[in-house]
Chain A
Amino acid sequence: MCAYRRRDSQYSIDLLDANGESIVVDSTNVVLLKIGKDNQIPHLDINSSAATANGSRIAAPTNPIIVQLDSEDLKFAAGVYDVEITVLDSSTGSVRTVLEKGVFVLHETQRGVLGL
């Protein structure tokens, strides 16, 4: 997974079970996405229940889920981070299941006013 620094990004992520079958997250559950480093406050922490102040959001329940990252939320240093996608299962209380943990690369971009 990668994005460009200070630029909007949108992802479509397929959720598959262990047999490779598509799964749909129940509307009562919450999908969480964190970008950062283990054991530290994430640079970006978004979930499907509410957008961030800058507008980054996760559209679920759908499959694939749609992740939108706003350019204002992607101002941290370019580099390699961990991305963690988790689902909060409301039917079993507060059990959080890690769906995927992967690599997130934030690429550097040029300075200047966007769109010019």
Chain B
Amino acid sequence: MSKIVTEGDVRLFVGLEGELTSAERARVGVAHTHAEGLVKQFLGYDPVQRRHVEFYPKHLHAGGMGIREDEPIGWEKSGNRAVPLNRGGQVSKTLQLRHIPVRQIKNLYYDPDANFGQAARTTFDGSFDTTFDDTDFAPDTVKTNGEDYFIDLDEESIGWAGLVYWGSGVWPIEPGSVAVDYISGFSEAELMGGADADAAQADLARGQISVVGVDASPIRYAVLLTCAKMLHVQQSLKRSDAGRGFDGGNVYESERFQDYSYKRPSGQISSTVQLTGLVVGLPTEALEALEPFKTYGRLRT
């Protein structure tokens, strides 16, 4: 899985740009991996640009959130059953994709009998990919961009909302009848905060889509802040003195001034850890940096 930041980013941010020991490299790697996971979890999507293949709608209420079309639109045939296309206003003009920003839809399929690509499947090949099994989402079910559907684009090649409109009214309501093969996320230049014309051209040569001026660097910053916090806690827990137990770190264990004094217990979990806790969640500053990039659209999918 591609990462939001490079290992070099993390090392430079925490002052470990020189030669590393194996243990230091391992600690950086662990903190890096977990920090990226927390950021992706908070955002609700993967901000690194890549291709996704997903099935929609997820359920009968997938339209939801007030963007509805209540007009009766008729019936759809499914096998030997007739399916109404307006169940009390549960149909929608827009489809919400899980990963944003949407950059390009490679293919969009509509097959009312596909059942999430399992209807005609006789064997499971172990992965969902762009080659669907058997006859589900066959080539003749591919729809035309600009006619059958169109992306809610803010400017060329970037749609922040992740919405796709069905060209002729409302989206089908049969769960798993639509498959979307699309590219979402930020290019490397956009994550670096340096998406100018040269960088966009360089990214294009590597198969990535960049839009000049798009700056997703706060996402990188959030990962780095979280990494720094994790490494700080790790360092506090590092066993450096077997007789004493965990290292106390650089905090006072006792202090006295006239009649006032205190002493922290030694030989136990370090004072640093007592002060900072074992909290390795996202720091407040990271949450603030990520807030503009968070999606709530997942509630609709």
Q: Do A and B bind each other?
A: yes
Residue numbers of A with Cβ under 8 A of B are 6, 36-41, 43, 75-83, 101-105, 108
Taking a contact as CB atoms under 8 Å apart, the answer to whether B3 and A39 are in contact is yes
Q: Which of A36, A76, A77, A79 has the most CB atoms of chain B within a 10 A radius of its CB?
A: A77
Find chain B residues with CB under 8 A from A41 CB.
206-207
B2 close to chain A: CB less than 8 A: yes
Taking a contact as CB atoms under 8 Å apart, the answer to whether A37 and B189 are in contact is no
Find chain A residues with CB under 8 A from B152 CB.
none
Find chain A residues with CB under 8 A from B133 CB.
none
0/1 string, B178-197, CB within 8 A of A gives 1: 00000000001100111110
Find chain A residues with CB under 8 A from B1 CB.
39
Find chain A residues with CB under 8 A from B69 CB.
none
Stretch touching chain A among B4-12, B81-89, B100-108, B140-148: B4-12
Residue numbers of B with Cβ under 8 A of A are 1-3, 5-9, 11-12, 17, 188-189, 192-196, 198-199, 201-203, 206-207
- Contact sample, A vs B, 25 pairs, CB 8 Å cutoff: A36-B6, A37-B3, A37-B188, A38-B2, A38-B6, A39-B2, A39-B3, A40-B206, A41-B207, A43-B202, A77-B189, A77-B193, A77-B194, A77-B196, A77-B199, A78-B192, A80-B6, A80-B8, A81-B8, A82-B7, A83-B8, A102-B8, A103-B17, A104-B8, A105-B8
Known: A37-B188, A43-B206. 17 other contacts (CB 8 A): A36-B6, A38-B2, A38-B7, A40-B2, A41-B206, A75-B201, A76-B202, A76-B203, A77-B188, A78-B192, A79-B193, A80-B6, A82-B6, A82-B7, A101-B7, A103-B12, A105-B8
Given A38-B6, A76-B189, A78-B194, does the pair A105, B12 have CB atoms closer than 8 Å?
A: yes
Say how far B67's CB is from chain A's closest CB, in angstroms.
36
Of the candidates A39, A78, A103, the one whose C-beta lies within 8 Å of that of B11 is A103
Find chain A residues with CB under 8 A from B194 CB.
77-79, 108
Find chain A residues with CB under 8 A from B6 CB.
36-38, 80-82
Nearest chain-B residue to A103 (Cβ)? B8
CA distance A39 to B3 in the complex (A): 8
CA distance A28 to B199 in the complex (A): 35
CA distance A83 to B201 in the complex (A): 21
Say how far B182's CB is from chain A's closest CB, in angstroms.
19
Say how far A42's CB is from chain B's closest CB, in angstroms.
8
Nearest chain-A residue to B194 (Cβ)? A77
Find chain A residues with CB under 8 A from B5 CB.
80
Taking a contact as CB atoms under 8 Å apart, the answer to whether B3 and A76 are in contact is no
CA distance A43 to B202 in the complex (A): 8
CA distance A33 to B219 in the complex (A): 28
CA distance A78 to B5 in the complex (A): 13
Given A40-B188, A43-B202, A103-B17, does the pair A80, B12 have CB atoms closer than 8 Å?
A: yes
Taking a contact as CB atoms under 8 Å apart, the answer to whether B12 and A75 are in contact is no
Say how far B53's CB is from chain A's closest CB, in angstroms.
19
Find chain A residues with CB under 8 A from B206 CB.
40-41, 43
Find chain B residues with CB under 8 A from A37 CB.
2-3, 6, 188
Find chain A residues with CB under 8 A from B12 CB.
80, 103, 105
Find chain A residues with CB under 8 A from B9 CB.
79-80
CA distance A79 to B215 in the complex (A): 13
3 residue pairs, one from A and one from B, having the closest CB atoms: A77-B194, A103-B8, A79-B192
Given A78-B194, A108-B194, does the pair A38, B199 have CB atoms closer than 8 Å?
A: no
CA distance A29 to B22 in the complex (A): 26
Nearest chain-B residue to A101 (Cβ)? B7
Find chain B residues with CB under 8 A from A103 CB.
7-8, 11-12, 17
